[in-house]
């Protein structure tokens, strides 16, 4: 069993790898923890515009505590919040020269802008109600504010009165023009947004301070193969070989490769599947200060629409963020997640592997279905943005488990020398400060509330398994889908939504169409 004397190697420096390394090494902890990643994160600082394509290397992610009746995750999210705030403070108190690349003392990793969960109808969904019930049991119901509940709205008004900078009433009014303001929903005032790339850069810095070694780069940090010893019952992993040909010894190898995990470890076939979420960015021009103001995190919340109880599987499941300091508004669509089935070069098995802007087989645009749905929802929710058009898109790779719970356990058959920490299933980011505490428990064989949830498990043939049972003939495999092109990014196609004349004539649209073209060729 793994102990603080063990030589631990972690492959993957995303949220799962970083949080694990941090919790192993901190304090009087593990002395010998090494993290490998083929991304040169010391240079690109997790910036998604600079070659990073892991799920964690992103502009922003939602932090929420409402988790329906999955109270283990609810509690875990809450337990991380004070640390997110403490990290903000530590950064604010730091000297600029002491901070890792990409951060300044002004950087906030967590912005408590709230999360507006918009219902799909005039009533809350059963899931929404479950969120309210569970927070009530936890004594935290007062943090949730239901739009159609007068007492909740009065409490929200009180919060604004106590601190006018919170603008909660403004935040719960942002969808009042959508469907005549008939939809219910609630604002979660403990929720907010994390700046993802900066948070990872900070966590990596904390790891280094705690003594974790990083071996990063396309050759030196890339896992080529694990090194195995023995046969049958005594088979074990004793280290890894990297792409530069070097061998590295280890007592235990933790695979935390996000969407790449199933292709790195064929043993995980049937346990995890890489699927892509669709993300679009709308960059607001400097001259539109009205929009910069409206979408600022002070006045505009993170939001979700149709995330559960989908309007229809083809249309439902949208979320979005306030504007970033660079002027980007990010909108995501997860009503349908895409797969990219390929033949594994070593095992010959068919499995879904990530395809991004930066992989050798490049993803240049989203499936047209995703763009059409994003345009539809943006047109309805934010008519003021339709004159600008989409300025960038990204496929962001989830690692889905059979039930959306993480997979954090020893891989059977290697006498506790091979461990997997993955299966983020689209909701792992918020746990960056605390996840590793429980990964450490599983590594050390200490039972906790997550042991049964995170145990190694596979899809059971014939049973629903979160899409993993569908295989490549699911109708969502990229090879069988029509992909969008840049002309799909504007709301100007004949037969589609018309652009208002005045928006066209102010030049914003024309300017952006040119910008969009230049983005695509660069």
Ligand X SMILES: *[C@@H]1O[C@H](CO)[C@@H](O)[C@H](O)[C@H]1NC(C)=O
Interface residues with ligand FAD (CB under 6 A) are 11-17, 36-39, 54-56, 61-62, 221-223, 256-260, 264, 277, 279, 332, 396-399, 422, 424, 426-430
Cβ 408 to ligand X shortest distance, Å: 20
- 279: number of CA atoms within 13 Å, CB side? 24
Distances in Å between the alpha carbon of 95 and those of 85, 98, 99, 325?
18, 5, 7, 21
- Considering the rule CB under 6 A, would residue 234 count as an interface residue with ligand X? yes
Do 369 and 309 form a contact (C-beta atoms < 8 A)?
A: no
Cβ 344 to ligand FAD shortest distance, Å: 13
13 binding partner (options ligand X, ligand FAD, none; Cβ < 5 to 8 Å by kind): ligand FAD
415 binding partner (options ligand FAD, ligand X, none; Cβ < 5 to 8 Å by kind): ligand X
- Considering the rule CB under 6 A, would residue 5 count as an interface residue with ligand X? no
Do 265 and 399 form a contact (C-beta atoms < 8 A)?
A: no
Helix, strand, coil shares of the chain as percentages rounded to 5?
Answer: 35, 20, 45
156/215 with CB nearer ligand FAD: 215
11 binding partner (options ligand FAD, ligand X, none; Cβ < 5 to 8 Å by kind): ligand FAD
185/332 with CB nearer ligand FAD: 332
Q: How far apart are CA 104 and CA 100, in angstroms?
A: 8
Q: How far apart are CA 152 and CA 473, in angstroms?
A: 47
How many other CB atoms are there within 10 angstroms of residue 283's CB atom? 20
234/522 with CB nearer ligand X: 234
How many other CB atoms are there within 10 angstroms of residue 65's CB atom? 25
Cβ 448 to ligand X shortest distance, Å: 22
Cβ 512 to ligand FAD shortest distance, Å: 23
- Considering the rule CB under 6 A, would residue 3 count as an interface residue with ligand X? no
User: Which tokens sit at 133?
Assistant: 């019930």
Cβ 520 to ligand X shortest distance, Å: 54
* Residue whose C-alpha is closest to residue 389's, from 319, 489, 483, 488: 489
398 binding partner (options ligand X, ligand FAD, none; Cβ < 5 to 8 Å by kind): ligand FAD
119/223 with CB nearer ligand FAD: 223
Binding-site string for ligand X from residue 408 to residue 447, where x marks contact by CB under 6 A and - marks none = -------x--------------------------------
279/509 with CB nearer ligand FAD: 279
156/302 with CB nearer ligand FAD: 302
Q: How far apart are CA 189 and CA 135, in angstroms?
A: 12
Q: How far apart are CA 517 and CA 522, in angstroms?
A: 9
Cβ 333 to ligand FAD shortest distance, Å: 9
Cβ 229 to ligand X shortest distance, Å: 10
26 binding partner (options ligand FAD, ligand X, none; Cβ < 5 to 8 Å by kind): none
User: Which tokens sit at 82?
Assistant: 């004070």
330 binding partner (options ligand FAD, ligand X, none; Cβ < 5 to 8 Å by kind): none
288/355 with CB nearer ligand FAD: 355
* CA angle, residues 80, 86, 87, in degrees to nearest 5: 90
| Phi, psi (deg, nearest 5) at residue 319 | -150, 160
Distance of CA 72 to the CA centre of its chain: 19
Cβ 394 to ligand FAD shortest distance, Å: 8
How many other CB atoms are there within 10 angstroms of residue 158's CB atom? 10
The packing angle between helices 15-25 and 196-209, to 10°, is 30
233 binding partner (options ligand X, ligand FAD, none; Cβ < 5 to 8 Å by kind): ligand X
435/508 with CB nearer ligand FAD: 435
Do 406 and 422 form a contact (C-beta atoms < 8 A)?
A: yes
Number of residues that bind ligand X (CB under 6 A): 3
52/388 with CB nearer ligand FAD: 52
Cβ 17 to ligand FAD shortest distance, Å: 5
144/255 with CB nearer ligand FAD: 255
Residue with tokens 């596979």: 458
Residue with tokens 């605390």: 434
| Phi, psi (deg, nearest 5) at residue 7 | -90, 110
Residue ranges in contact with ligand X by CB under 6 A: 233-234, 415
């Amino acid at each position: 069993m793994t102990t603080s004397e063990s030589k631990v190697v972690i492959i993957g420096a995303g949220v799962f790898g970083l949080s694990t390394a941090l919790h192993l090494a901190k304090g009087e902890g593990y002395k010998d923890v090494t993290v490998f990643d083929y991304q040169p994160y010391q240079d690109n600082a997790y910036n998604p515009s600079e070659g990073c394509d892991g799920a964690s290397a992103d502009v922003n992610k939602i932090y929420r505590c409402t988790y329906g009746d999955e109270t283990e995750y609810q509690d875990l999210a809450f337990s991380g919040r004070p640390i997110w705030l403490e990290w903000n403070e530590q950064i604010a108190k730091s000297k600029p020269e002491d901070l890792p690349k990409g951060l300044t003392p002004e950087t906030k990793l967590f912005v408590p802008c709230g999360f507006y969960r918009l219902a799909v109808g005039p009533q809350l969904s059963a899931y929404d109600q479950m969120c309210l019930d569970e927070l009530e049991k936890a004594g935290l119901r007062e943090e949730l504010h239901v739009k159609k509940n007068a007492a909740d709205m009065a409490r929200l008004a009180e919060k604004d009165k106590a601190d006018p900078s919170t603008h909660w009433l403004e935040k719960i009014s942002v969808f009042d023009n959508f469907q005549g303001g008939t939809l219910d929903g609630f604002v979660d005032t403990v929720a907010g947004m994390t700046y993802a790339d900066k948070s990872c850069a900070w966590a990596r810095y904390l790891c280094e301070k705690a003594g974790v070694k990083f071996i990063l780069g396309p050759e030196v940090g890339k896992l080529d193969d694990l090194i195995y010893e023995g046969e049958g019952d005594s088979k074990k992993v004793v280290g890894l070989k990297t792409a530069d040909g070097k061998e590295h010894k280890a007592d235990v190898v933790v695979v935390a490769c996000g969407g790449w995990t199933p292709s790195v470890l064929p043993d995980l076939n049937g346990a995890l599947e890489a699927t892509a979420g669709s993300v679009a960015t709308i960059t607001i021009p400097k001259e539109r200060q009205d929009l910069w103001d409206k979408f600022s995190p002070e006045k505009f919340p993170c939001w979700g629409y149709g995330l559960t109880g989908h309007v229809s599987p083809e249309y439902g499941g949208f979320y979005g963020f306030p504007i970033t300091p660079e002027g980007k508004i990010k909108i995501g669509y997860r009503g349908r997640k895409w797969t990219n089935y390929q033949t594994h070069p070593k095992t010959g098995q068919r499995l879904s592997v990530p395809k991004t802007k930066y992989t050798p087989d490049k993803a240049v645009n989203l499936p047209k279905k995703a763009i059409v749905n994003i345009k539809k929802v943006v047109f309805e929710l934010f008519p003021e943005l339709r004159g600008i058009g989409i300025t960038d898109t990204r496929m962001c790779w989830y690692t889905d488990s059979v039930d959306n719970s993480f997979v954090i356990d020893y891989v059977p058959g290697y006498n506790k020398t091979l461990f997997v920490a993955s299966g983020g299933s689209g909701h792992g980011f918020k746990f960056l400060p605390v996840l590793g505490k429980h990964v450490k428990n599983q590594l050390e064989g200490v039972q906790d509330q997550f042991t049964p949830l995170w145990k190694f498990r596979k899809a059971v043939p014939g049973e629903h398994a979160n899409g993993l049972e569908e295989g490549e003939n699911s109708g969502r495999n990229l090879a069988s889908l029509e992909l969008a092109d840049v002309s799909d990014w504007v709301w100007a196609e004949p037969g589609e939504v018309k652009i208002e004349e005045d928006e066209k004539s102010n030049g914003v649209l024309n300017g952006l169409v040119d910008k969009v073209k230049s983005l695509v060729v660069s």
